Amino acid sequence: MRRSDREITDMDRIMEIVRRQSVCCVAFQDAPCPYLIPMNYGADLENGRLVLYFHGAAAGTKLDRLKADPHVSFTIVGGSRVLLNLGEACKSTAGFDSVCGTGAAEIVPEEEKRKGLAVLMNHAAECESLAAGNGAAGRETPPFSETSFSDQAVDAVTVWRITAAAVTGKHHD
């Protein structure tokens, strides 16, 4: 990263950014250019590594790309704002928090789908709580557990995840 003064390497700070946002853009390998799609996600820290969970239909372009090549890139952006300098346009800038990374995407095995769905839904609940101004604490206990989902709902979706191989954050006021 060129601007190391803006780089975030502390995983706690990276997770703080990740937990406050609700959309992750994922880039899959494709030709002639990457296939990039914004998606809702759930985030977890597993064995010190960022893991992002997603869900969707049992068929489609994302799964086709994932199966063809699991190597992906992702980005999460928050707090984006333009800081205009009306006196000198070239001194305008932008403020933001971002997390970017690479990793391998994989379809979650059937026996782990409920965990992935709980991570997704609890992340959504945390984002909703923060947006409502309830602070980072939000709820003391997560509202969703692995038993929160009917068999029919679980069977109707594909759950997949990205385990980050590399991740970095950036902050600019």
pLDDT of residue 67: 94
pLDDT of residue 162: 97
Beta carbons within 8 Å of 22's beta carbon, 6+ residues apart:
40, 41, 123, 124, 127
Q: What residue ranges of the chain have pLDDT lower than 50?
A: none
Beta carbons within 8 Å of 67's beta carbon, 6+ residues apart:
none
> What is the C-alpha separation between 108 and 160, in angstroms, rounded?
5
pLDDT of residue 148: 92
pLDDT of residue 56: 92
pLDDT of residue 112: 95
Q: What is the pTM of this model?
A: 0.87
pLDDT digits (tens, 9 = 90+) for 108-146: 999 999 999 999 999 998 888 877 777 655 556 778 989
> What is the C-alpha separation between 162 and 104, in angstroms, rounded?
6
Beta carbons within 8 Å of 131's beta carbon, 6+ residues apart:
none
Q: What is the DSSP letter of 136?
A: T
Q: Which amino acid is at 52?
A: L
pLDDT of residue 145: 87
